[in-house]
Amino acid sequence: MAGGTESTRLWGGRFTGGPAEALARLSVSVQFDWRLAPYDLAASRAHARVLSRAGLLTAEELGAMLAALDDLEAACASGEFRPTVDDEDVHTALERGLLERLGTTGGKLRAGRSRNDQVATDLRLYLRDHARGVASRLVELCDALVEQAGQHIGTPAPGMTHLQHAQPVSFGHQLLAHVQAFARDLDRLSDWDRRAAVCPLGSGALSGSSLPLDPVAVARELGFTHPAPNSMDAVSDRDFAAEFLFVAALAGVHLSRLGEEIVLWTSQEFGWVELDDAFATGSSIMPQKKNADIAELARGKSGRLTGALVNVLTMLKGLPLTYDRDMQEVQEPVFDAVETLELVLPAMTGMIATMTVHADRIEAAAPKGYTLATEIADWLVRGHVPFREAHEITGALVALCAPDGRDLADLTDAELATVSAHLTPEVRSVLDVRGALEARTTPGSTGPRAVTDQLQNIAGRLDHWREWGAQHVVPR
């Protein structure tokens, strides 16, 4: 690392001595906000250009400033430049690095900006950048689910409500239900990004600047749609962080629901799915075990994501305008949420992509629990029997079968007739699982044709999100 070791504090002018050790230890944030360094440097380059256009940096000073910032960024990326125990935060550390390279000229960059608008800008840049990475990982998980669903469009499965067998469904349809939830998460990320694309830089500590700056140019250079319309709101707003955490928490809930189903499906009681050895673990004492740890960890991490959201909302609820140091507590939950999703999503994707689906076992379970009862009721309705009456007739059939454990198809014609004269032998035409699936033809239903249409539609949506996730909003 170049230069000396003298501490670079950004706020010490009116103080006759340094902070107490206890205060310094409580205040320091560089151990977690160092993640913002690339974004702070990008904002610094934009700010330097604005200062130059305002006549506050000469052309030579601007050139030296940009070269020093580029050199500092390379040193940060390589690990040559790192924060020290004396650096309070990422801004302090980077100013120290700039001063080491430029001397007093480096101090000119501080004009017209404050750590208040810097951190608000940096955090928005970080989240807008990483939201696209999260989106890409979500798309990859959806791709894995879509691939599995495409192989099981016609695989009958017992659809459930209350975790009880309800009606036959396509197993591919069930997998695509999870894709639809994740697609909504992707929609929310894009919608969030539209509101987050507001640039606070130029708002200063809270009141803007008396210097002839150009917030519009800064916003444009940093990939924002426009500058903040109110400088006080700009430095105190953390809605964008709370909203991102809500999207992350809801994605965590969706991951947890998928994880719970995988845990069930891989159990001995279900036996529908077997995980690849690379995406399962064993037991330290029971050698026969094969555990769905990825699914369980995804289920567990959802609590962590929800906790991050509650943490930030609780912290924000009573803050007066404008900036308060409490807001430092936004950063760690945000970083943790991003890193949690970036950790969980690839593992879930690998698990789904490599799992073996035992279609024969799923199909064998499809009619159990009288899942075709509704087909009988619908058949009666097509014969102009009021559904209220059809429901009662079908319930009576189930009551007749249950004591002996018989299936509906096992009833004789005479037994059918004793329950209702409407139950002619033709009712047997609907006592077939595959026929029940084929009969579901309405859009969004579980019939093979409707599921095929759903696959085609979701593929187009995923291509859109694939492109969005590959975008770079921060200048490289």
Catalytic residue among 162, 210, 284, 384: 162
472 catalytic residue (yes or no): no
283 catalytic residue (yes or no): yes
Catalytic residue among 7, 207, 267, 283: 283
Helix/strand/coil (H/E/C) assignment for every residue in the chain: CCCCCCCCCCCCCCCCCCCCHHHHHHHCCHHHHHHHHHHHHHHHHHHHHHHHHCCCCCHHHHHHHHHHHHHHHHHHHHCCCCCCCCCCCHHHHHHHHHHHHHHHHHHHHHCCCCHHHHHHHHHHHHHHHHHHHHHHHHHHHHHHHHHHHHCCCCCEEEEEECCEEEEEEEHHHHHHHHHHHHHHHHHHHHHHHHHHCEECCCCCCCCCCCCCCCHHHHHHHCCCCEECCCHHHHHHCCHHHHHHHHHHHHHHHHHHHHHHHHHHHCCCCCCCEECCHHHCECCCCCCCCCECHHHHHHHHHHHHHHHHHHHHHHHHCCCCCCCCHHHHHHHHHHHHHHHHHHHHHHHHHHHHHHCEECHHHHHHHCCCCCCCHHHHHHHHHHCCCCHHHHHHHHHHHHHHHHHHCCCHHHCCHHHHHHHCCCCCHHHHHHCCHHHHHHCCCCCCCCCHHHHHHHHHHHHHHHHHHHHHHCCCCCCC
Residues labelled as active-site residues: 162, 283
